[in-house]
């Protein structure tokens, strides 16, 4: 696959009938939030099965919580970057013809101003009871002793995220597949595209006729499928790409 320059990237108004973006940890890298895989990735220092599994929580909930609180701290100190901002701009231009699906639990898309991202893996700042599933905002829980306990059933409270070996919310993932099937342009941004079911979304989009664009400095399993590949960082590529889309949209309306 040849690498693409924004100027020579060939898209038309027809590709903008429905645009779907799937983001991964790479979009938040330039905000200072470590990715999972690759250089500096968190899974180089920690084993997923020791920290992000139901088994880990069952055997050592305090350790799991400490790791999540540490990650929360890093995220709380970071801010959305130009890549997140560009996607908010895209939503303003395309309105309900743009759908944002993210694997990230950092909430940076919302903080940038995105109204309703599909958060496939949950949100690190939300909590739920591991026994009765009741959800709790932080200020209702006591974090002095970990894990916090459920006010209803005294069950253990856990981060409201999806762990390895757990299923995704049915409605959420069905929605994501439906939107991907309908996409005319699909942007795969900053994801290693190895964790399923999210990794299947770009493939489904491409099989259903979408133009598939990847933004990632490294090759992934979908690189060879992509119609265009941008290897600069998402904070560099997305503002230019969104500008180009805006120009096409404006022209098509005149």
Residues classed as catalytic: 121
Q: Taking a C-beta distance cutoff of 8 angstroms, is the pair 28, 250 a contact?
A: no
Strand order in the sheet with 228-230: 118-119, 98-102, 19-23, 185-189, 211-215, 228-230
Q: Does 188 bind ligand OAD (CB under 6 A)?
A: no
Q: Which is nearer to ligand OAD, 4 or 216 (CB)?
A: 216
Nearest distance from residue 60's CB to ligand OAD, in Å? 17
- Among 55, 70, 69, residue whose Cα is nearest residue 159: 69
* Segment interacting with ligand OAD, rule: CB under 6 A, options 4-12, 61-69, 179-187, 210-218: 210-218
Q: Is 62 one of the annotated binding-site residues?
A: no
Q: Which is nearer to ligand OAD, 40 or 209 (CB)?
A: 40
Q: Is 186 one of the annotated binding-site residues?
A: no
**Which of 195, 200, 203, 248 contacts ligand OAD by CB under 6 A?**
195
- Among 238, 180, 241, residue whose Cα is nearest residue 27: 238
Q: Which two tokens stand for residue 254?
A: 């005149």
Q: Is 49 one of the annotated binding-site residues?
A: no
Q: Does 24 bind ligand OAD (CB under 6 A)?
A: yes
Helices (H), 3-99: 26-29, 48-51, 54-59, 61-76, 82-94
Q: Does 217 bind ligand OAD (CB under 6 A)?
A: yes
- 103-136 burial code (b ≥16 CB/10 A, e <16): bbbbbbbbebebeebbbbbbbbbbbbbbeeeeeb
Phi/psi of residue 93, each to 5°? -75, -50
* Segment interacting with ligand OAD, rule: CB under 6 A, options 21-29, 150-158, 173-181, 200-208: 21-29
Q: Is 43 one of the annotated binding-site residues?
A: yes
**Which of 21, 30, 80, 112 contacts ligand OAD by CB under 6 A?**
30
Q: Does 54 bind ligand OAD (CB under 6 A)?
A: no
Q: Which is nearer to ligand OAD, 26 or 147 (CB)?
A: 26
């Amino acid at each position: 696959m040849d690498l693409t320059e924004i100027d020579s990237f060939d898209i038309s108004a027809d590709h903008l009938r429905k645009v779907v973006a799937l983001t991964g940890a790479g979009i938040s890298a330039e905000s200072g939030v470590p990715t999972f895989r690759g250089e500096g990735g968190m899974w180089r220092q920690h084993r997923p099965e020791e920290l992000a599994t139901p088994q880990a929580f069952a055997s050592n909930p305090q350790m799991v919580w400490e790791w999540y609180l540490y990650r929360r701290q890093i995220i709380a100190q970071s801010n959305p970057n130009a890549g997140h901002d560009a996607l908010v701009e895209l939503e303003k231009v395309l309105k309900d013809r743009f759908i944002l699906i993210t694997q990230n639990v950092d909430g940076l898309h919302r903080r940038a101003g995105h109204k309703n991202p599909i958060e496939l893996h949950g949100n690190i700042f939300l909590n739920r009871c591991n026994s009765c599933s009741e959800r709790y905002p932080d200020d209702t829980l006591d974090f002095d002793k970990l894990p916090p306990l459920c006010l209803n059933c005294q069950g253990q409270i856990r981060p409201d995220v999806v762990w390895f070996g757990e299923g995704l919310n049915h409605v959420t993932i069905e929605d994501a597949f439906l939107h991907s099937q309908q996409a005319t342009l699909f942007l795969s941004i900053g994801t290693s595209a190895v964790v399923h079911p999210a990794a299947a979304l770009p493939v489904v989009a491409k099989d259903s006729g979408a133009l598939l664009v990847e933004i990632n400095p490294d090759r992934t399993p979908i690189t060879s499928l992509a119609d265009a590949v941008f290897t600069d960082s998402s904070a560099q590529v997305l503002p230019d790409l969104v500008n180009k889309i805006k120009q096409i949209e404006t022209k098509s309306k005149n």
